[in-house]
Amino acid sequence: METFKRHEKEISGILFITLIVILGYFSFHFVKKKLVVDQSDQVSKSQSEVDDILGQAARLHEIWSLGEKSQDWLRVKEKCVKKFKLIENFTENQIRCHPIILSCLKDFDKKNIWNFDLFENGELYQWVSKSINPTNLYDWEQLPSSGYRIKFRAGQKTLQFVLSDRCHESLIAERVYSYGKRSPRLQDDYHFDTFNRKILIDKYLVNEFQVYQWKRSRLLFLKKQNNNTSANEEAIRSLDRDISNQWDLQQFDPFKPATQLKIEEMKNYCRDHGGDLLSAPLYDAASFWFDELQDRNGYYWLKGSKVNASKVEMDCQKLYSKECLQNANYKVGFYGPSASGVFDIQGGILEALKNPLEKNKNLKLSSKYFAWNAPEQMLAERGEWNGQDFSLSALTMVGSDVSQKLNSTDKLEIGFRCYREL
Amino acid sequence: MKMIFIKWMKIAIGILMMMINQSCRINFLQEKNNPSFDDIYKNLKQDWIFAREVKRDNFYNVDLKEQKGIEFKLFSLVFVRPESPAKLVENCLYFKMPTKEKGGILMIEENKNLNDCGETSGFKPKYEIEDVVQVKYFFEDEKLKLNFEVKEGHQNKKITWSFPMININDGPSTFHKFLPEKKNKKLPLLTIITSNEAQFEDNRYKDFASSKGQVFRCRRLNSECQIAGEDLCEKCPYGSFPAVGEECATDYDRYCGPNFCGEKGEPACPRGLKTKESDDDGFCEEGSVPQFENSLLICK
């Protein structure tokens, strides 16, 4: 006891150190364990957020590609059609890969909650393409030729996706085709082929909505480029002017064919979509029945030249001619398809083309401006458009007087479509 | 007593050191070798969602039961890691076949340089999964499926991993009607992008665009009609188009758009590979004729 008292301080010190060691050991393990648990909680939380977004993206991808056939579209269709006044030019299959679906799912889908995240300017989607939205190098290569950028948010996590807008294209068969009208002698026909080429042609004419999205994105892109050259500033002014003048958003019919673009604008539109304005030879490839090369008919639905075109009965469901104006409105994407799967090949509105073989013959004539039995309604009948304006004086037809053929009150409606090669 | 105190101190410090050492060792071992299956799966899933290429000739079910003790490369996978700046990273997957004495090992390596995956694994796989009995992998519904069995006591535990691969550009067809089956090619409709905001100032894309009087060739074919060098056409901001070259008669070189074919001073528009009624391989607008210059048919 005496010894203990004598060494009380030392013994207390030893006990104290031992206690510290034991406490230190347990605290170290406790903190470590807590740290690991917290980290794994964070990982699994962040992973479940990513999983949520991926789940939504996969679901949306399915709806996007099924379009008019998806149950989700059918659920919101009625309200959607009403909201966007989709009546006149609307054929339902065009809703596929169209961002109107996104807006309507967001507004009217009661079954699912969509965690869309809006862009800075409050928009739900932005049209992008490789030329208009060059992000960093890797993304830019990954991007499809064009599509709609959207954002999803779950918790702290946001992921961006691009939904391709290219579901309405037809791949042209690889074979030999003829250009232009049938010549009396086979050897006088001009032939070309598309072997080893993957050519995709728009099934439908480019519409107002697409041009609006393109111009808006182009404007945003130019504004963000920090390019103060006068050409850039003029381009910005011009786009600003176009957007505010041409589109009255209240009266906006998204599916109406775009008919206000000059030919250079049409080319720029197609180039920004990774392609080019459809050329006359490819137009022919997409429109004639192609069973017999030298035996082509003047109407896209007729096989062989033996069918007498002058005796073909009028059918406004196949070709919308002048006579059809009285019975029904012209409906985009309704007439056809041709053997190659392309719509609105004949009738309806005029269509601008690029024509390297006969440079000036750049306008498909078959349209509502001509009577059913007019020679201009035949395939490969082309006029010359100055590419600039839409008055009658802008059109020349070899061997015909335009003023006699068309009403002086007519304003030319000239649409276009694009093609691209994979 | 002072001596006893010092002795006690030494023992206590020794015990403390041992405890710290033991803890660190456990910690080190756990971090290096023992992430759980779930952790590996989560980490891979987070990386591979940005996969853009899976390198393997064909995806097919692989059942490697018979090859004892041999190591195989299963496949490699290139993905974009969305840090700033974004980086391309390659994961290489290897499987060492089980023997009677030792279970199989599934190894996942990570390479910062692309095309560095050797035929067998290197020294430091990022993940190692031991006691694997067999592995199967295949591509289905835009997903890469990796299924394997791990020995657990006397039983095998089946593990099924599924990785969405929405940015991989080959797979089932989306085309229908009008097309012969064999020509079908899938066009992906959904792309996940990795940057948070577009970098609009980046002008690198302009290097891959043609302009009037100047074309950028993105794919060249040699005289055997094989692609010579790299195919850069995916980089073309305005798409790409074929043009007639001098070396290969059965296919086309490709150039980045915009396409001004047929115009004077620009590539001739290809007339076709089998349409040989005349000598023209390409056509030009009136006033110019196709002629070869620097292995390209242009309108002069």
Strands A414-415 and A350-352, by their bridges, are parallel
Q: Give tens-digit pLDDT for A163-190.
A: 888 888 888 888 888 898 877 777 778 8
- The per-residue pLDDT for B93 is 92
Strand, helix or coil at A210? Answer: helix
* Interchain contact A202–B (C-beta under 8 A): no
Are the CB atoms for B43 and B31 separated by under 8 Å? no
Tokens coding A392: 């009658």
State the nearest Cα–Cα gap between A410 and chain B, in angstroms. 31
- The per-residue pLDDT for A289 is 75
DSSP state of A253: -
CB contact under 8 A, A193 and B273: yes
State the nearest Cα–Cα gap between B19 and chain A, in angstroms. 7
* B172 or A362, higher pLDDT: A362
Write the residue in B8, B236, B274 that is nearest to A193 by C-beta.
B274
- The per-residue pLDDT for B44 is 92
Are the CB atoms for A155 and A49 separated by under 8 Å? yes
Pick from A64, A140, A343 the residue to mutate for testing the B interface (most B CBs within 10 Å). Answer: A140
Write the residue in A21, A47, A422 that is nearest to B185 by C-beta.
A422
* Interchain contact B41–A (C-beta under 8 A): no
- The per-residue pLDDT for B206 is 64
| Chain mean pLDDT for chain B | 75
Write the residue in B179, B194, B251 that is nearest to A139 by C-beta.
B194
For residue B3, pLDDT over 80 is answered with: no
Q: Label residues B45-58 b or e (16+ Cβ within 10 Å = b).
A: bbbbbbbbbbebee
Strand, helix or coil at B173? Answer: coil
**A324 burial via Cβ count (<10 Å: 0-12, 13-18, 19+):** buried
Chain B residues close to A280, C-beta within 8 Å: none
Pick from A52, A174, A276 the residue to mutate for testing the B interface (most B CBs within 10 Å). Answer: A276
CB contact under 8 A, B205 and A224: no
Q: Where are the extended beta strands (E) located within A79-188?
A: 116-117, 126-129, 146-154, 157-164, 169-171, 176-179
For residue B260, pLDDT over 90 is answered with: yes
Q: Where are the extended beta strands (E) located within A72-135?
A: 116-117, 126-129
DSSP per position, B89-133? EEEEEEEEPP-SSS-EEEEEEEESSTT---SS--S--SEEEEEEE
* A144 or B184, higher pLDDT: A144
* Interchain contact A274–B (C-beta under 8 A): yes
Strands B253-256 and A350-352, by their bridges, are unpaired
Closest CA to A283 of A335, A332, A346, A207: A346
Other CB atoms within a 10 A radius of the CB of residue A35 amount to 10
Q: Give tens-digit pLDDT for A256-280.
A: 899 989 999 999 999 999 999 999 9
CB contact under 8 A, A54 and B164: yes
How far is C-alpha A276 from the geometric centre of its chain's CA atoms? 14
Interface of B with A in 100-159 (CB under 8 A): none
The amino acid at residue A208 is E
Q: Report the alpha-carbon distance of residue A257 to residue A90 in Å, rounded.
A: 11
Tokens coding B20: 């710290």
Cis amide bond preceding B85, omega within 30: yes
Confidence tier at B28 by pLDDT (50, 70, 90): very low
CB contact under 8 A, B27 and A32: yes
For residue A103, which phi and psi values (nearest 5 degrees)?
-60, -40
Q: Report the alpha-carbon distance of residue A135 to residue B39 in Å, rounded.
A: 31
Q: Give tens-digit pLDDT for B127-147.
A: 999 999 888 887 776 678 888
CB contact under 8 A, B237 and A18: no
In DSSP terms, which residues pair with A382 in a beta bridge? A364
Q: Report the alpha-carbon distance of residue A222 to residue A236 in Å, rounded.
A: 7
- The per-residue pLDDT for A56 is 86
Interface of A with B in 58-87 (CB under 8 A): 58, 60-61, 64-65
Confidence tier at B11 by pLDDT (50, 70, 90): low
Cis amide bond preceding A337, omega within 30: yes
Strand, helix or coil at A8? Answer: helix
CB contact under 8 A, B12 and A17: yes
Closest CA to B93 of B140, B59, B141: B59
Closest CA to B242 of B233, B185, B169, A278: B233
Instruction: Note the ipTM here.
Output: 0.83
Q: Report the alpha-carbon distance of residue A260 to residue A352 in Å, rounded.
A: 12
Q: Report the alpha-carbon distance of residue B227 to residue B218 in Å, rounded.
A: 10
Tokens coding A11: 């013994």
Strand, helix or coil at A96? Answer: coil
* Interchain contact A232–B (C-beta under 8 A): no
Chain B residues close to A159, C-beta within 8 Å: 192
Cis amide bond preceding B258, omega within 30: yes
* A20 or B44, higher pLDDT: B44
Task: Report, in angstroms and rounded to the nearest whole number, the Rg of chain B calculated over CA atoms.
Answer: 29
Between chain A and chain B, the number of residue pairs with CB atoms below 8 A apart is: 238
DSSP state of A207: B
Q: Report the alpha-carbon distance of residue B53 to residue B144 in Å, rounded.
A: 11
* B201 or A153, higher pLDDT: A153
Chain B residues close to A134, C-beta within 8 Å: 198-200, 202-205, 237
Write the residue in B86, B236, B286 that is nearest to A138 by C-beta.
B86
Chain B residues close to A420, C-beta within 8 Å: 239
DSSP per position, B187-210? ---EEEE--SS--TT--GGGGG--
CB contact under 8 A, A134 and B203: yes
State the nearest Cα–Cα gap between A407 and chain B, in angstroms. 33
Q: Report the alpha-carbon distance of residue A352 to residue A188 in Å, rounded.
A: 26
State the nearest Cα–Cα gap between B176 and chain A, in angstroms. 9
* A268 or B97, higher pLDDT: A268
Please report, for residues A109, B194, B196, the alpha-carbon distance to residue B87 in angstroms, rounded to integers and kept in the order given: 38, 10, 14
Q: Report the alpha-carbon distance of residue B172 to residue A290 in Å, rounded.
A: 28
Q: Give tens-digit pLDDT for A88-134.
A: 777 888 888 899 999 999 999 988 789 999 988 889 999 988 888 75
Interface of B with A in 191-250 (CB under 8 A): 191-196, 198-205, 209, 234-242, 250
Query: Among all residues of chain A, which has the CA nearest to that of B210?
Result: A271
- The per-residue pLDDT for B1 is 57
The amino acid at residue B56 is R
Q: Could you say which residues of chain A have pLDDT below 50?
A: 35-37, 39-40, 136-137
CB contact under 8 A, B167 and A6: no
Q: Report the alpha-carbon distance of residue B61 to residue B72 in Å, rounded.
A: 14
Pick from B17, B80, B178, B204 the residue to mutate for testing the A interface (most A CBs within 10 Å). Answer: B178
Q: Report the alpha-carbon distance of residue A224 to residue A206 in Å, rounded.
A: 26
Interface of A with B in 11-30 (CB under 8 A): 13-14, 17-18, 21, 24-25, 28-29
Helix axes of B37-48 and A8-66: crossing angle, nearest 10 degrees: 50
* A322 or B208, higher pLDDT: A322
Confidence tier at B107 by pLDDT (50, 70, 90): very high
CB contact under 8 A, B191 and A192: no
State the nearest Cα–Cα gap between B44 and chain A, in angstroms. 11
Q: Report the alpha-carbon distance of residue A373 to residue A312 in Å, rounded.
A: 9
Write the residue in B16, B42, B283 that is nearest to A47 by C-beta.
B42
Q: What is the mean pLDDT of residues B266-283?
A: 83
Quote the pTM value: 0.77
Strand, helix or coil at A136? Answer: coil
CA angle B237, A287, A397 (to 5 degrees): 90
In DSSP terms, which residues pair with A396 in a beta bridge? A384
Are the CB atoms for A162 and B191 separated by under 8 Å? yes
Tokens coding B226: 């094989």
For residue A260, which phi and psi values (nearest 5 degrees)?
-120, 10
For residue B20, pLDDT over 60 is answered with: no
Query: Among all residues of chain A, which has the CA nearest to that of B88?
Result: A138
- The per-residue pLDDT for A249 is 59
DSSP state of B253: E
State the nearest Cα–Cα gap between B85 and chain A, in angstroms. 8
State the nearest Cα–Cα gap between B148 and chain A, in angstroms. 22
